[in-house]
Amino acid sequence: MTSRREFLRAGLATSALLPVGARASFAGVEGPASRVSLYKVLYDTRFAASVAFARRAAARGLRVHAMTGDMTSFWYHDLYHRWQQAPVAIAGLTGHGALFCLERLAWEQRMRVVYRGEHAAAAGGCIAHRFEGPAQLAAAAAEATASVHWAAALADIVADCPRGRAQSGTAQSLTARVDAATAAEPLFSWVIAPVPRA
């Protein structure tokens, strides 16, 4: 079992691997006040990419929550009670099941998936990415995922998700020849947040 100290140390090491220029390009939003404030970042310990994502998120100071395929405990022991107080944004890099359940539960709180990325194995050991959400964020996500450190880079993307309504867009990218074992199922990066009324 990895200790919190080892987890944070690995996260800092991973963030140091990201090119400085690439990290700066993720900042599609000006200032923390214009970004979605994330309550927690959910990750799935079954997938190396999800763990790398969580390490980078923790290195940025975001609160992370581990799960192993099933988000039920997170819902019943944490998020349900927090959303009873007030809706707060969450993010993650998980399989489809966790995203599907949380998306449905969020509807009752007048919250929606405001950013979604799909990350699936492609021919030649590559990873194909598709993004939808705020146009500037989707473009930044496509640029960030060209690197083999794509999963860690996505933590910067979700942390920079803009608050409020933004012009939506889509983007695609391909991570060429990923050395680490790819997940057997597609992974999804996402942000669920309150959506202001029109």
State the pLDDT at residue 16.
41
Bridge partner residues of 162 (DSSP): 35
The values of phi and psi at residue 22, to 5°, are: -65, -40
State the pLDDT at residue 154.
97
In tens, the pLDDT along 103-162 reads: 999 999 999 999 999 999 998 889 999 999 999 999 999 999 998 899 999 999 999 999
Q: What is the mean pLDDT of residues 90-105?
A: 97
The values of phi and psi at residue 114, to 5°, are: -100, -15
Mean pLDDT, the chain, as a whole number? Answer: 85
Say what the pTM is: 0.82
CA within 13 Å, CB half, 168: 8
**What percentage of the chain reaches a pLDDT higher than 70?**
79
Residue with tokens 């964020």: 137
CB count in 10 Å sphere of residue 80: 11
Q: What is the mean pLDDT of residues 177-193?
A: 81
State the pLDDT at residue 31.
55
In tens, the pLDDT along 55-86 reads: 999 999 999 999 999 999 999 999 999 999 99
Sign, CA torsion 152/62/106/77: positive
